[in-house]
Amino acid sequence: MITKKIIGTLFFCAFSLSLLYSQVGINTSSPQGVLHIKSSIGTSDIVVSSAVGKEGYVGVGTLTPSHKLHINTTSALKALRISDTTEGAGKVLMSDREAGVALWREKQGSWFGALIYGAVTPTAASTAAHAVVYGASFVSDYAIGGVNQSTGKITVPYKGMYRISVFGSSIMHPSRYSGGYFIAGYLFIYADNVLIWGPHSLGNTNLSRMQYFSYTRLVYLQASSVLHLTTTNIVPAYADGLDNFSFYVELVKQM
């Protein structure tokens, strides 16, 4: 009777010990962790590590995870996808007020587009608006927003506050004005074909028919707004020529 009790106790201890160090394998008879789900195709196994110091580490595509979550894949097969209706091109996962809770958000103050090396030949007698011909363009992220050098237009990606900066040399045609003073760097800046800004400054033809100018302004824009600008000499005292002109649009704060 005592012998049976001893045998029963030993069996129970052995069974308990096996449970303590048990491993579960799915599609495999030799699990490499506490839980090992073996993929029937490729190397996309899922493993919950039981290694000392790495207990509970989860590996996807690796049998030896080195972090709490370790995903091993190729560039053709993306490693992670989180869809909660806030995702979008160019966004990043950002923590909210609750520590550790992340949502998709736009990168703050990280986008800009520019048209540079712009020029407009000054005219002798024209009251028409003149488009700027640019020599180069660039944008911080070609996946969001956009810059069209051929049309001279910049498309902003987000709703928010933007800084518009324009600078270059204003040139007046020699035959347009000889009275001493003229309006230099007179620009018309549009958002979705609506005039939003008309910066200009005062020049002096007795000193020079070319004047350097630089203007900066903060404006609120809707997502996907398209910006462009023109020059004009609607009256003889307006200089409509430009040289080495630059047109910058930079996101300051997304709203």
pLDDT for 15: 45
pLDDT for 226: 98
Contacts 24+ apart (CB under 8 A), 26-35: 32/63, 33/59, 33/63
pLDDT for 156: 96
Q: Record the tokens describing residue 4, joined without a space.
A: 């049976």
pLDDT for 78: 77
pLDDT for 17: 43
63 vs 214: CA distance, rounded Å = 60
pLDDT for 205: 84
Maximal C-alpha separation, the chain? 126
Is the distance from CB of 248 to CB of 165 less than 8 angstroms?
yes
Q: Digits of tens for pLDDT over the chain (255 positions)?
A: 556 555 555 444 444 444 445 677 666 656 667 666 666 665 677 777 767 667 778 878 787 888 888 888 777 777 778 888 778 776 778 777 666 777 887 666 579 999 999 999 988 767 778 899 999 999 998 888 999 999 999 999 989 999 999 999 999 888 877 778 888 888 999 999 999 999 999 888 888 888 999 999 999 999 999 999 998 877 778 888 999 999 999 999 887
So where are the chain's domains?
1-72, 111-254
Cα 50 from chain centre = 40
* The amino acid at 237: A
Fold classification of 111-254 is Jelly Rolls (2.60.120)
Q: Record the tokens describing residue 86, joined without a space.
A: 């806030």
215 vs 170: CA distance, rounded Å = 12
Is the distance from CB of 120 to CB of 186 less than 8 angstroms?
no
Cα 189 from chain centre = 24
